[in-house]
Amino acid sequence: MLGFITRPPHRFLSLLCPGLRIPRLSVLCAQPRPRAMAISSSSCELPLVAVCQVTSTPDKQQNFKTCAELVREAARLGACLAFLPEAFDFIARDPAETLRLSEPLGGKLLEEYSQLARECGLWLSLGGFHERGQDWEQTQKIYNCHVLLNSKGAVVATYRKTHLCDVEIPGQGPMCESNSTMPGPSLESPVSTPAGKIGLAVCYDIRFPELSLALAQAGAEILTYPSAFGSVTGPAHWEVLLRARAIETQCYIVAAAQCGRHHEKRASYGHSMVVDPWGTVVARCSEGPGLCLARIDLNYLRQLRQHLPVFQHRRPDLYGNLGHPLS
């Protein structure tokens, strides 16, 4: 079953900025094999992105099969870029299994995704690959690596998660990502794609606005937070954090999420979504694995930034330059 949502004009924004055009966007929430889709002709020239929601397990080949099915469906529906969540490759039962299942970027699994990108002719945001880096032999730890592939299957950017999730949330169970993972050493400059300039982040990074501000000041128009939020933090913080990052950076936010029970030790919240620069949720996945689609209107983004020029009004003389622009 397909659910269509039409975003109405924002009355308050129209009052504040009478000259600002508010686009009416049709967005789609779909299960893995929808049969049909209707898109209004007025929006067909805008780039379409797909946000994939999955339930990864320790079975890497089954996970790839599920992701590939969604990516092919996204391509069929006309998306130019598909986003997969953190740990799209697998979610293991313990740190030892995580390390055993990990691969280098040049391994078999990334080659399969490169072939998939070429086959479908679209870009892929692989939101959190368990990467054995060049220092694997010395550290015996991995990186949580966000990989961006172009439509020819080439790696155009990699970002290694800089903020590791070492937390103990009552009712959700402890998580110590640093047991198996090294923090990344740097941010990645925004990358030009058919949908706009994308800034890469991963899950827990969303709690650090300095990162999103740095990416926005470096030219990002879309920020992406592939995630695997838990059952306690998800309902409490997921949507509000995504909307906050969108409003303060005046960027589109694309958040592909893990959902459901991965195994006996772990479950994820889901609720993948796209948020526009005004902070409105314009697309959202339904329960379970599936995808949602949204169009990216960069003219709308530029008009909003022109009418609300918050980055011109910052006062680093008072509070320092939070989120230093990338060099």
CA distance 299 to 312: 19
Query: Hey, which residues are catalytic here?
Result: 86, 161, 203
The two three-digit tokens of residue 266, written as one number: 């772990």
Kindly compute the dihedral angle of the four CA atoms of residues 29, 34, 40, 43, in this order, to the nearest 10 degrees. 60
Answer whether 186's CB lies under 8 Å from 324's CB.
no
Which residues does 312 contact at the CB level (< 8 Å), separation at least 6?
Answer: none
Alpha helix (H) ranges present in 50-123?
60-76, 95-101, 108-120
CA distance 282 to 294: 7
DSSP letter at 325 equals P
Which residues is 181 bridged to in the sheet?
142
Give buried/exposed letters for 73-102 (b at 16+ CB in 10 A, else e).
bbbebebbbbbbbbbbbbbbeebeebbebb
Decide the pairing of beta strands 281-284 and 290-295. unpaired
Kindly compute the dihedral angle of the four CA atoms of residues 27, 32, 34, 38, in this order, to the nearest 10 degrees. 20
First to last CA, the chain: 47
DSSP letter at 78 equals T
Answer whether 282's CB lies under 8 Å from 254's CB.
no
